[in-house]
Structure 1
C-alpha cells in the first residue's frame, strides 16, 4: 500500500478547497461587498499570515456563490500589484481592464474598455464610462488587490504627488453614483500607516475601508486545520503532537503548516523528533 502523501502546505498560498479558519474575516468581507452600501475592506497582516490565501478564497467562484455573489450580479477580479513592473497608474488600469470579462454584444462596458486600452494613458477619471457600463449590465465590480503597497509610492516628492492623485481618484471612483465599485486590498502594514506620508487635499484614501488585521490562528482554528488536512490520510496527531505544533508555531499559519508538514514526514518518529523540527524551523527563520 503506498505511503500517504503529506497533506500540509507551506510556502505557497493554500487552494480554496484547503482554506481553513478566518471565519470572522470572511464574513466581514462578504457582508461589505454584498451589502447595500457596497463597502470596501483593507486587510493587513505580517509576512506569511495568509493574506493571499484569503483573497484567493474570496475570489473563488464556488465560494463567492455560496455567499450570494453570483456572476450575473458581480464581477470579481484578483490582481497582484507586485506583478506590475514599474508601477504606474496607467499600467495598473491597463492590467485591470485586461482582466475584465468580455461581455457579449452591447452588454457591459466592452466599447469603453477597448477605447481606453487604445489610449496612451489611462487615469482614474477615465473609468467612469467603464463603471457605467458595468452598472447598466446589472453588475458590480469588486477588485481584490494583493500587495497593494506597491501602488503607494512615497519615496520622492514626485512619487507622493502621483500617489496622492491616484488614490484620490480611486476614492472618487468607489464613492461615485451609481455605486458600481468595491475594493478589497491587502497589505503588510495597515493602510492608514502606508498613507500617512501623503498630504491628501480632501478625505484620506484609507477612510473608505473597513480594516481587518490577520492574526495567528487560535487553538480552535489550528485544531480545525489539523483535522481537515489529516482527514483520509490514515495518520493521526496525538494531543501531545498538537500541543507541540501549536506551541512551536505560535499559531502563525505558515509556521503551523510547516511544523505539521515536518511532523507528518517524520512519523512515527522517535525520541528527539520535536527538537529536530523546532531546530529546522529556527534554521528557516522562525
Structure 2
C-alpha cells in the first residue's frame, strides 16, 4: 500500500502539471487567434463598424459629419435650437451623446463656455411638474457654479430655485453675461406631451420664450420619434420656435 501511494502521488503531480501546462498553452493560442481576428477586422474593408441597438459611446461614434457640423455651428455661432427626428434605433441618442462631449475639436475655444444637460424625457415621472423639470435639467449648471457662491449667477440660481423656477429670465441672463451657453438636450421630446403637468401653454410657451429671448444663452437640441409636423398638431404653442430639422 505504501508502495502504491509513493508511486501514485508523484505520478498524479506530473499529470496535473502536464494538464495545466497544456491548458495554459491552449488558452495562449486561443487568445492569439482572437487578437489576430480582431486585428485583421480593423483592416478588413468588409468589416462593418456600425452598431445597431443601444447608443454608441462618443469615442465609437462615426459618420454623420454634415449633421454634426451643422448643429455645432448653430450652437456656437447663433445659439439656435435644433430638432433631430427619426425612427427608433436610427442614431438620434448617439448624436446627442457625441455632441454633449465638449471636445475642442468640435467647439474650439468655446468648449469651456458650454454647459450641456442631456435628459431622456422617459426618465421623468408621469406627475413631473415644471419645478421638478427645471430642477432636474439644471443640475449640470448647479454643479458648475457650486464653487462660485459669490457670483451673480449663483445668486440668480438660488433665487430661481427658491421661487420654484417660476421665473428663469434673470438666471438665463446671468448665463449670457458670462458668455456661457446652457445647451439643453431633450431626448424623445414628444414624450413630454404625455406628461399632464407639462403639456400646457404655460410650460411649452415659457420654454419657447426663454430660448427665443436668451440671445444664445439657452439652446435647445431635441430628438423626436415623430416629425415636427405631427408634433405641431399636438402642440402648436411650442413649435413656433425656429428649429432646424435633421
Deviation at 1:144, TM superposition (A): 1.2
What are structure 1's unaligned runs of at least 5 residues? Answer: 213-286
Q: Does 1:111 align with 2:151?
A: no
Change (3 A) 1:177 1:58: closer
Give 2:73's aligned residue: 31
Give the counterpart of 1:52 among 93, 116, 132: 93
Give 1:131's aligned residue: 172
Q: Give me the CA root mean square deviation.
A: 2.6
Q: Does 1:192 align with 2:192?
A: no
User: d(CA) in 2 for partners of 1:160 and 1:84?
Assistant: 11
User: What is the aligned residue count?
Assistant: 200
What are structure 2's unaligned runs of at least 5 residues? Answer: 1-28, 42-48
User: d(CA) in 2 for partners of 1:161 and 1:85?
Assistant: 11
Give 1:122's aligned residue: 165
Give 1:208's aligned residue: 242
Q: Which runs of 4+ in 1 moved over 6 A?
A: 5-8
Structure having the higher Rg = 2
Change (3 A) 1:199 1:71: closer
User: d(CA) in 1 for partners of 2:236 and 2:79?
Assistant: 27
**TM-score, normalised on structure 1?**
0.62
User: d(CA) in 1 for partners of 2:168 and 2:235?
Assistant: 23
User: d(CA) in 2 for partners of 1:150 and 1:23?
Assistant: 28
Change (3 A) 1:65 1:76: farther
Change (3 A) 1:25 1:177: closer
Q: Does 1:61 align with 2:102?
A: yes
Deviation at 1:108, TM superposition (A): 5.7
User: d(CA) in 1 for partners of 2:93 and 2:176?
Assistant: 28
Q: Are the aligned partners of 2:116 and 2:140 in contact in 1 as well (CA < 8 Å)?
A: no
Change (3 A) 1:145 1:133: same
Deviation at 1:137, TM superposition (A): 1.7
Give 1:271's aligned residue: none
Deviation at 1:160, TM superposition (A): 9.3
Give 2:218's aligned residue: 181
User: d(CA) in 2 for partners of 1:161 and 1:74?
Assistant: 26
Q: Deviations over 1:187-213 (max 9, x none)?
A: 10023311313353xxx525410111x
Deviation at 1:145, TM superposition (A): 1.1
* Aligned-partner SS, 1:152: helix
Give 1:20's aligned residue: 62
Q: Are the aligned partners of 1:142 and 1:183 in contact in 2 as well (CA < 8 Å)?
A: yes
User: d(CA) in 2 for partners of 1:60 and 1:15?
Assistant: 10
Structure with bigger helix share is: 2
User: d(CA) in 1 for partners of 2:152 and 2:100?
Assistant: 20
Change (3 A) 1:199 1:73: closer
Q: Deviations over 1:152-188 (max 9, x none)?
A: 238xxxx499432211111110111544111110110
Change (3 A) 1:178 1:24: closer
Change (3 A) 1:108 1:70: farther
Q: Are the aligned partners of 2:82 and 2:220 in contact in 1 as well (CA < 8 Å)?
A: yes
